[in-house]
Amino acid sequence: MEKPENMESSQPMASKVEKLIGVVEAIAVRNNEFYALSREEMVDKMRELLKVKPISSVKESIENLKQAFYKHLKAELENQLATDLLDDSEHVAEPVQDPLETTFKTLLAKYKELKASENALLDAVKEKNLQEKKRILAELEALTASSDDLSATIPAFRKLQQDWKAIGQIPATAVNGIWKAYSQYQEKFYDLIKINNDLREYDFKKNLELKTALCETAERLSNETDPVEAFKQLQKLHDDWREIGPVAREFREDIWNRFKNASTVINKQHQAYFESIKEVEEKFITEKMAICEQVEAIDYASLKSHKQWENKTQEILELQEKWKHIGGVSSSKMSMKAFKRFRSACDKFFKHKKAFFKTIKSEFVQNLEAKKALCVQAEALKDSTDWKETAEKLVQIQKEWKTIGPTNKKQSDAVWQRFVAACDYFFEQKNLNFTDKKSEELTNLKAKKAVIEQINAFQATGNASDDMVALKALVEAYNKIGFVPFRDKDKLYKAFKAATDKQFDALRGSRSSFTPHKPSTDRMKLMKEYDKLKAEIATYENNIGFFSASKKANSLVEEMNKKIDLLKHKLAEIVTKIDAIDQQ
């Protein structure tokens, strides 16, 4: 007797299918044609599918559409949950009922109603078909027990076979029993009534050809690139196998083993495919769990400053971004478990961060009051014209500002702008004052050059006493003229001294003992200090040009500009001292 595949492998095969069905459906979601649609388009597509009759003909499409819809919804929810994690002050809010999901569920309910109604009708038809097949089995039993002439029995047997094949589906629970009984009656008919060898061999030969073709098709399926599709086609081949009659006894074992072996190859490929997917997904889960462990391992006791918390917050945000780019997992239960663990760890971090900033809130308030007090001091000094002393005071206040800790970010910029405005106002007025002074010095330079030209052009009258008085008057006029630009001071002084020495030497007949401005040791020291400060200022101004535009670089540039201003103040003091020596 032929060994049908459902008798030897249906139970193991069913067990494997049950284990893999969940994974198959998950993979189908990624590959089905609806995944590229928006959820609004999916709702419209569902309405169209519900109009198809019979509804069972679109079962697979509806299942794929359902998988795609909830895959989209799940992705949107996970993205929303991940986005909520970025808010360090509040927990993730409870999700709001999605109107598209509500509509989709309503359509699914309608589909279930239609399917249930159709299934009820189908079940009735299957039951009717079962009764019809039982009737044929009863007639086959009668034929196998009949001793009538074969000329009458064979046509009746053929008719019953045709009627059997024309009958549709029967309840699944009765398939194996009914098919076994039918097969037994067929074999009994051939064996017991000793049908002539020609008919028997013809049927056996035809059935062998058909089953051989099924074996060849099953063997070719091993080359199918899609293991899931190959598995589905294999199930169809098994259905066809059951409909084909027996083969000669000497071929039954071999042909069945050939078909079974080809089926085993496809089943193993199918199983290996999902095991490989499982391996990749396990890698994804391992990576996500490693991120969870990294967040859970944070030492909160070591985070003691605002900067440390902000640096650690940046690390958390980077881990959240890394989480988003790790591949998905078909098991929603496992995926949600990992996500809940990650969200819990992140929530814990932001809870600790919130508590930390709450404790330093009072310190922020104290720092703000201290900075406001410095603003008041700076604003009280900004209109002062005592340039040197006020500049020193403001520089000291600026240094004190740096020693004060941080304040609330919302108020920090405002109080800083207030402080900077007061300081900038004073130094702008100071620069304007020095600009006016520079203009005056240029005028004095022209005046002193004019006096030097008069001394050089002086013509003696022959009256030494009168000429001496006239020259001294020119010297006095020169000395009464105010300061000149510092860079021209030495050159102008040399020209003045050379002119006066020449004229007084000519009048007295020897080198004049009169020295309008005798350089002193103090003046030389001041000149050396002046040159040193000028070089230092040039170095700072040159270094500023090497900084690129950034928040940190701007801070360094600002600090250097403050140092340059301080050095220029010192330089101005030295110039004043040199001018005082020159006026003696």
Tens digit of each residue's pLDDT (9 = 90 or more) over 272-294? 877 777 776 677 778 778 888 88
In a domain, 227, yes or no: no
User: Which residue from 116, 88, 111, 102 is spatially nearest to 39, judged by alpha carbons?
Assistant: 102
Residue 254 has what pLDDT? Answer: 92
**Domain limits for position 327:** 278-360
User: Which residue from 308, 307, 329 is spatially nearest to 406, judged by alpha carbons?
Assistant: 307
In a domain, 365, yes or no: no
Length of the chain: 584
Q: Is residue 1 very low, low, confident or very high in pLDDT (cuts 50, 70, 90)?
A: very low
Q: Based on the structure, what is the number of domains in the chain?
A: 2
In a domain, 457, yes or no: yes
In a domain, 355, yes or no: yes
Strands (E), 307-465: none
Tell which wins on pLDDT, 489 or 29. 489
Residue 13 has what pLDDT? Answer: 46
Q: Is the pLDDT of residue 3 over 50?
A: no
In a domain, 33, yes or no: no
Domain boundary, last residue among 330, 360, 390: 360
For 157-178, what is the mean pLDDT?
Answer: 87
* Residue 332 C-beta-side C-alpha neighbours within 13 Å: 14
Is there a single domain that holds both residue 350 and residue 496?
no
Domain boundary, last residue among 312, 339, 360: 360
Residue 21 has what pLDDT? Answer: 46
Provide CB contacts within 8 A for 200, sequence distance 6+.
190
Is there a single domain that holds both residue 568 and residue 455?
yes
In a domain, 184, yes or no: no
The CA-atom distances, in angstroms, between 566 and each of 144, 217, 309, 336 are 122, 93, 36, 62
Q: Is the pLDDT of residue 9 over 60?
A: no
Is there a single domain that holds both residue 478 and residue 564?
yes
For 227-239, what is the mean pLDDT?
Answer: 88
Residue 341 has what pLDDT? Answer: 82
Is there a single domain that holds both residue 444 and residue 569?
yes
SS (H, E, C) 142-208: HHHCCCCCHHHHHHHHHHHHHHHHHCCCCCHHHHHHHHHHHHHHHHHHHHHCCCCHHHHHHHHHHHH
The CA-atom distances, in angstroms, between 338 and each of 282, 343, 345, 358 are 12, 9, 11, 30
Residue 170 near residue 178 (C-beta atoms within 8 A): yes
For 162-166, what is the mean pLDDT?
Answer: 89
Is there a single domain that holds both residue 323 and residue 455?
no
Tens digit of each residue's pLDDT (9 = 90 or more) over 421-444? 888 888 777 776 666 667 777 888
Residue 71 near residue 26 (C-beta atoms within 8 A): no
Is there a single domain that holds both residue 336 and residue 437?
no
Tell which wins on pLDDT, 524 or 393. 393
**Tokens 């005798």 correspond to what residue?**
518
In a domain, 505, yes or no: yes
